[in-house]
Amino acid sequence: MKTEVLTSMNRPQNIEIVTNKTNMNDISVCMWNCRSLTHTKLVWLRHRSDDVIVLNETWEKTTEERSAAHPKWVNGKLSDIPEYTCHSKARCGKRGGGVAILLKNHLGSHLIPSSVKDTLIVKVLVGRSRYLHLITSYLPCGSEYKWMKRWEKIRQELLMHCSETNLNNIVIAADWNKNLEESQTMAEQFHDLGLQTAEDRYDWTFSCGNKRSKLDFFVLSKNLQHKAAISHRSLSDHALIALEIREVSEIKKNKIRILDRRLARTTTSHAIEKMTCINDFFKTFKRTLASRKTIRWA
């Protein structure tokens, strides 16, 4: 594993070196709310060897804001981490926020456009017909109304972009700013989408003084097998959470052959409007598409 030589000036404390995976067909994913990616944190991050690194609250600036940024913040440096491809989104005109997904170069990736603030959706190609839909988002703390509004937008984008795989092979890595294990409403919504929170071996992910909370979670499709998520010490008030997904198998695509993208978008939007649960969505989608399959757009 390639590492950077540390000096007394840039040596962070409590460096953890990741051990090799037990199975080369497994996918290792780690998630970290770094609360601004400083140079020290960037050096520490380079000693990770996960296949996928997910970052929340990078505090990265947009291109227009970088010239006025304080020198201790890292801007545009994520792309300099060796052996990784970076996808990132900065928060415009406001401090904080920002998300990023880094993938080892041997993994193919395609960024799916998302209009949701502080949210990234990346299609990760693992092998032939084997891929993951990887989503990260920083959900805001504060009022329950704003939180649910953000989650509803994410849910609609999941239905829009992942319906062709029947919502299989989805991985959501996020700082939810909420303990999902205590929310019956979210448990029901995850169940309707065929999702579940990943099994874990930690009691908290956020520590500030005497306060400890469990805010960072992996949420996975039920078809994915995984080892229990574990936490590691980090250089911010959030622990780094690591998860290993066992061999990603091929997934059967929806048998409906989509020949017209405009028709597909119209049909999906109609199905979302009419649905009351996930089963209704797929029924409406198939029925509407079947009834319009002979339509040819100008």
Q: Are residues 278 and 203 in the same domain?
A: no
In the predicted structure, residue 90 carries a pLDDT above the cut 70: yes
In the predicted structure, residue 105 carries a pLDDT above the cut 50: yes
Q: Are residues 275 and 181 in the same domain?
A: no
Q: Are residues 149 and 85 in the same domain?
A: yes
Q: Are residues 129 and 100 in the same domain?
A: yes
Say what the pLDDT of residue 266 is: 72
Q: What is the mean pLDDT of residues 131-160?
A: 90
Q: How many domains does the chain have?
A: 2
Across the chain, mean pLDDT equals: 80
Give the domain CATH number at 190: 3.60.10.10
Please indicate, yes or no, if residue 36 is contained in any of the structural domains: yes
Q: What is the mean pLDDT of residues 245-267?
A: 66
Domain boundaries, position 281: 261-291
Q: Are residues 106 and 184 in the same domain?
A: yes
How do residues 156-181 score in pLDDT, each as one tens digit? Answer: 999 888 877 778 899 999 999 999 99
210 token code pair: 């005497």
In the predicted structure, residue 74 carries a pLDDT above the cut 50: no
Q: What is the mean pLDDT of residues 73-78?
A: 56
Q: Are residues 135 and 171 in the same domain?
A: yes
